[in-house]
A and B are shown apart, each in its own frame.
Chain A
């Protein structure tokens, strides 16, 4: 279902053609990095730390070097160190430990050998002497003075006075507005609570994989699974101290990323092993390695207090957020601070956030990073306000809903946004208008994400038969090829299947930032449109030559050139490309840009659940999500992103969590014990696409990949409360936790 707010009608945009890469993926022909086999190829294996925190005293590789099939071994001693202020330094120290290991799974050495078994056996034969250090896993404990320190050079930034001692707290962020004391004093109702979430993994089905082939000329070619092959190139260059021109990265198909493949873990190691062995080297992570060594999303402790008037206006908010970053600092608390009250107009607030390092894998982005945990806290408390004031939870949100021109909590004024339209879409939905089944609980929640622009490039070439090739640098992680083809079809006026969308490598297309931040269809689509518009100008010029008239007398519409005086029969695009060799040569255009004006995204969701009071198991009975897409270029893939975000949010809310033992060893590094939702767990996720076009994009695109994961956490918690009367403030809402809450008569207040 789509609800459109005043946008033009299009011929191709908004239709649902079969995706160009669909058949290959369905029949198994699509090539992923792990599928690649090169002549003479070796296999790499990484030796990882068995300790959460330890000093590396010595590494002896002599026994491993003598083992059969071994061609190269590398350790941290083989890599240089970047300056302390280099933004890529922590990435390089995460790729291979130097003097200390900072979490269980931290890479210590890597081996290339003729077979996988030989590489693994040799890695295990490397003798590492560790001095085990005290570790810290708990976010609050890590913040305490005297906690085991991960880094001697982290001094908390953002404090009122300069710290003199190092700390695990990397930074403090604060946003304030109005008079918080006055706001609470004038509130008729105050609700508050502490909310806890655990690290969870992005859970992509395809583990990290790459093949590197380094030649005697000192250049290397990398095939890999990533969300951005230009970043693979730059990060690999940073790790190795190479010039980027020595590195070519060819994007393989990607089997899921969700933010987890916006950074690298393998590629420089494979390149270095390849350089030392003179052979291509393939490295493929096991699922165990993916869990232990690649970025989960942060765990968090968030305390929120809200004050509201008796008629439901939220007039005061106080939020304290602590996000764990894993072994190196990130920006997660800062982002959480910016999101925590974003769906609400609040006059008075104080928001304070802390970024905390702990002895766990380094966190990576995960769909709308940091926003879901913040929403879990705020939207649970908003539900409590609605319940206590006996106001419909959607009406309460509409009452407090920001719109264009209001000041966002992080500073700037909101541009045109579609939160109100999403709230109204859920309010008016058949799901919300119907009563939950007897015994079922219902929850609603809203969520915000920024969306971003950044750099993109596109090249569009017209072929002699009137078809087109669209080359971009954005890996297709969610159907973006089809979206690029649809926008090009709309511009050029030719059938979408006359267009071949291609993801080009680092040497055939201009620089393009990572596919992240819901940016590919927005930003790279903008580059495609710009290139097509350039081409349309060229086509008019070619038609003018063919007609021997002025170019101003030629118009382009619906895929053909027409003469303004009506003196010539229209020329279809194929008529012009057929003559291109005689009118000036091939027709092609390139556009590179920094996309500006990304449109913020909002989603509002409603869920019905049943709770088995004997086991505590929560079953999702019905789920509806409304999301402002701006314009849905290909509605199938917009709906797919909306559904995917919801499903991952359901997993986060109900089951997923990293479990570490007291020594900091992960106890559930596999999908048997780390439970992600599967199709049989879920009902059809019903979607309502809301279209409030982004005025800064030629087709109104906002980007849809992330915000869908934000509301499920509070929506599920609110639904479980509605079903059981228990407010549970710690995720996941797993059967033991829900059962305990039911047995004790309540979770935690409410």
Chain B
């Protein structure tokens, strides 16, 4: 199962949970399951623009269809900009 890590901001919506294991084939499924576990978290992620995801350290800017490997380490982060 993928290990999903939450930043301090996100922990407000997880009741303080910093890490959770989720079985999901794609990021879309992952988000759906997270929303079931922590209602409102998906809206929060959209609202704060924190929709980029780091999967095993690889930052994916628009990840909805991205596969999630079985033991992946997942972090939600700010989409990166550059100059």
Residues of A within 8 A of B (CB): 157-158, 160, 171-176, 202, 258-260, 262, 330-331, 334-335, 338, 350, 365-369, 410-415, 450-454, 516-519, 596-598, 696, 705-706
B24 within 8 A of A: no
Using Cβ atoms and an 8 Å threshold, which residues of chain A touch B73?
412-413
A-B contact count (CB 8 A): 99
CB distance from B76 to the nearest CB of A (A): 8
In angstroms, Cα B83 to Cα A350, docked, is 27
Pick the contact of B77: A260, A411, A516, A519 (CB < 8 A).
Answer: A411
Using Cβ atoms and an 8 Å threshold, which residues of chain B touch A330?
81
B5 touching A596, Cβ below 8 Å: no
Using Cβ atoms and an 8 Å threshold, which residues of chain B touch A365?
81-83
**Given A158-B48, A174-B7, A331-B77 contact (CB < 8 Å):** no
**Given A175-B7, A331-B49, A412-B54, A706-B82 contact (CB < 8 Å):** yes
Pick the contact of A411: B7, B60, B81 (CB < 8 A).
Answer: B7
A-B contact pairs, 5 of them (CB 8 A): A202-B83, A334-B49, A334-B78, A368-B82, A519-B82
A335 touching B83, Cβ below 8 Å: no
Pick the contact of A335: B5, B8, B47, B81 (CB < 8 A).
Answer: B81
In angstroms, Cα B83 to Cα A518, docked, is 8
The size class of the interface chain B forms with chain A is 20 to 34
Using Cβ atoms and an 8 Å threshold, which residues of chain B touch A335?
78, 80-81
Chain A: CB-nearest residue to B44: A157
Chain B: CB-nearest residue to A227: B83
A369 touching B79, Cβ below 8 Å: no
- Other 20 A-B pairs with CB < 8 A, given A262-B82, A369-B82, A706-B82: A157-B44, A158-B9, A158-B48, A173-B48, A262-B83, A330-B81, A331-B78, A335-B81, A365-B82, A368-B82, A369-B83, A410-B7, A412-B54, A450-B80, A451-B82, A452-B82, A517-B81, A517-B82, A598-B59, A706-B83
B78 touching A259, Cβ below 8 Å: no
B69 within 8 A of A: no
Pick the contact of A415: B7, B57, B83 (CB < 8 A).
Answer: B57
Using Cβ atoms and an 8 Å threshold, which residues of chain A touch B82?
259, 262, 365, 368-369, 450-452, 516-519, 706
Pick the contact of B80: A171, A175, A415, A452 (CB < 8 A).
Answer: A452
In angstroms, Cα B81 to Cα A450, docked, is 9
Using Cβ atoms and an 8 Å threshold, which residues of chain A touch B61?
452-454
1/0 per position for B26-38, CB-CB distance to A under 8 A? 0000000000000
In angstroms, Cα B11 to Cα A350, docked, is 14
**Given A158-B48, A160-B12, A174-B8, A414-B80 contact (CB < 8 Å):** no
Using Cβ atoms and an 8 Å threshold, which residues of chain B touch A414?
57
CB distance from A475 to the nearest CB of B (A): 14
B57 touching A338, Cβ below 8 Å: no
Using Cβ atoms and an 8 Å threshold, which residues of chain A touch B49?
331, 334
B48 touching A411, Cβ below 8 Å: no
Pick the contact of B59: A174, A175, A412 (CB < 8 A).
Answer: A412
In angstroms, Cα B83 to Cα A517, docked, is 5
In angstroms, Cα B19 to Cα A444, docked, is 38
A413 touching B58, Cβ below 8 Å: no
Using Cβ atoms and an 8 Å threshold, which residues of chain B touch A368?
82-83
Chain A: CB-nearest residue to B47: A157
Using Cβ atoms and an 8 Å threshold, which residues of chain A touch B44?
157
Pick the contact of B57: A202, A412, A453, A705 (CB < 8 A).
Answer: A412
CB distance from B6 to the nearest CB of A (A): 9
In angstroms, Cα B82 to Cα A259, docked, is 7
1/0 per position for B51-83, CB-CB distance to A under 8 A? 000101111110000000000010101111111
Chain B: CB-nearest residue to A160: B12
CB distance from A669 to the nearest CB of B (A): 21
Using Cβ atoms and an 8 Å threshold, which residues of chain A touch B83?
202, 258-260, 262, 365-369, 516-517, 705-706
A517 touching B80, Cβ below 8 Å: yes
In angstroms, Cα B80 to Cα A335, docked, is 7
- In the A-B complex, list the 7 residue pairs whose CB atoms are closest, starting with the nearest: A517-B82, A259-B83, A411-B75, A174-B8, A516-B82, A412-B54, A365-B83
Using Cβ atoms and an 8 Å threshold, which residues of chain B touch A202?
83
CB distance from A657 to the nearest CB of B (A): 19
CB distance from B68 to the nearest CB of A (A): 14
CB distance from A499 to the nearest CB of B (A): 27
Using Cβ atoms and an 8 Å threshold, which residues of chain A touch B80?
335, 450, 452, 517
